[in-house]
Amino acid sequence: MTVAAVLLGALTTHVTNFLMERSRNRYQLLTRWDDKKVETYGDYVEATKTKIAAAKRLYEQREGLQTLERHEGDLRHELADASLAWGRAFERVMLLGGDDAIEAGHDLNAALAEIDWQATGETQGTLDEWRERNRAVFRCINDFHEAAREDLGIQGKVKGENHPERDLLLPPARSPDDDATAAGAD
């Protein structure tokens, strides 16, 4: 009887240690993947914003809204480079992201494509349409943030009652008098 009790105690200890070790390993694996997801989601948003900035410079140069010291060809090359980095970043989202984050990323990609197309001249549009496309892409970025936060189990929201929707930050409109004053100052 004593031998059976010792064997049962040893077996119980072994099973308990095995289950605890397995649970600890699972937790470490989940934590490691969450760290990778945070990095992946952040890299994707950063690459998206870099691509938006490159498209903005090209659009403003093409439309004569701003004169840059760079040629249009250089700006197109910059946009192409940003597109490659953005594509790589989204591939990581596809590999590691949760379902809702991936879908939010697809919606963001569609909105971003419209900005690219107008910036490169593949589609035509007014300045107001350009600005609305930018508003749409930033709404999609916020939707992506929401999906990523939910996937990571992060509490709180980036939209809603506590965080009203923000508009684009735009410089004040220039009047024709400003242009005449600037021309007279030359």
Instruction: Quickly list DSSP for 81-106.
Output: HHHHHHHHHHHHHHHH--HHHHHHHH
Q: What is the pLDDT of residues 52-76, one digit of tens each?
A: 999 999 999 999 888 878 899 999 9
pLDDT of residue 158: 64
Percent of the chain clearing pLDDT 90 (strictly above): 59
Is the pLDDT reported for residue 9 higher than 90?
A: no
pLDDT of residue 132: 96
Q: CA of 56: how far to CAs of 37, 90, 105, 121, 131, in Å?
A: 28, 21, 20, 12, 10
Q: CA of 163: how far to CAs of 61, 82, 100, in Å?
A: 34, 30, 21
Q: What is the pLDDT of residues 77-107, one digit of tens each?
A: 999 999 999 999 999 999 999 999 999 999 9
- Amino acid occupying residue 88: R
pLDDT of residue 106: 98
pLDDT level of residue 2 (50, 70, 90 thresholds): confident
**Between 18 and 119, where is the model more confident?**
119
SS3 content of the chain, % helix, strand, coil (to 5): 75, 0, 20
